Amino acid sequence: MMNDRPTTTSHSARTVRRSLTLRAAAHEFLRHPSPWMIATVFVATLAARFAVGDWQLTDAMVPVVIAAMFPLIEWIIHVTVLHWRPRHLGPLTIDSELARKHREHHVDPRDIPLIFIPPKSLLLTIVALVAIALLAFPRTGLGLTFLLTITTLGLLYEWTHYLIHTDYKPQHALYRAIWRNHRHHHYKNEHYWFTVTTSGTADRVLGTAPDPATTPTSPTARNLHAD
């Protein structure tokens, strides 16, 4: 059984969190920097995209392809970047901020600031994505369409991931499945269920969506790489 109650929170605080509404969740979401950073890029890119014009069929294809690939992208990033084991190269330790913060996130999945992408890492990611949008596509307009798609999915990721870790209760079957999938990752076994915004997609294809009833509870779900 998954136990996600905080260990050092007062009874009154737990009561407030258990009765969390979607509106209250959104209010808290907007208090953190990453949604605003991503939204700023989205708005600027949207304005630039309409200013450039030059709409073609490929502008409709890019969002479809990226959206279809997004569960796989989530899976790869989660496994290879967020669950990165620190490596030592002589006196140097190779360990990114994203990996360090993700380990902290597993220690306390209810710590709200740790749910979000760290601003420094997000800024570097945004710079890289803007460079890709401007340099890797045959048309400026197509690159901007790519960037619009990525920022839209980025906002979806941040909102979904945040909401899963709050006490907002799932109201619909689709979100309930996504909610359950990610909470299994945190409270059941960190070696499975790596997608966040979908359930039964990339995990099922890549063999990381076992039956929770027959999957052993991992002793290191809260302390990654402690084995």
Q: Which two tokens stand for residue 32?
A: 């953190």
Query: Residue 14 in contact with residue 196, Cβ under 8 Å?
Result: no
Residue-wise over 51-68: b if at least 16 C-beta within 10 A, else e? eeeeeeeebeebbeebee
Q: Looking at the predicted structure, is the pLDDT value of residue 14 above 60?
A: no
Q: Looking at the predicted structure, is the pLDDT value of residue 183 above 50?
A: yes
Q: Looking at the predicted structure, is the pLDDT value of residue 123 above 90?
A: yes
| Per-residue pLDDT at 18 | 57
Report, as an integer, the average pLDDT of 175-182.
96
Q: Looking at the predicted structure, is the pLDDT value of residue 136 above 60?
A: yes
As a whole-number percent, the residues of the chain with pLDDT over 70 amount to: 91
Q: What SS3 class is residue 19? A: coil
Report, as an integer, the average pLDDT of 97-113.
97
Query: Residue 162 in contact with residue 144, Cβ under 8 Å?
Result: no
Residue written as token pair 């084995």: 227
Q: Looking at the predicted structure, is the pLDDT value of residue 17 above 60?
A: no
| Per-residue pLDDT at 15 | 37
Domain range summary for the chain, segments of one domain joined by +: 20-214
d(CA 134, CA 143): 6
Residue 31: pLDDT band by 50, 70, 90 thresholds?
very high
Report, as an integer, the average pLDDT of 99-120.
97
| Per-residue pLDDT at 117 | 98
| Per-residue pLDDT at 226 | 78
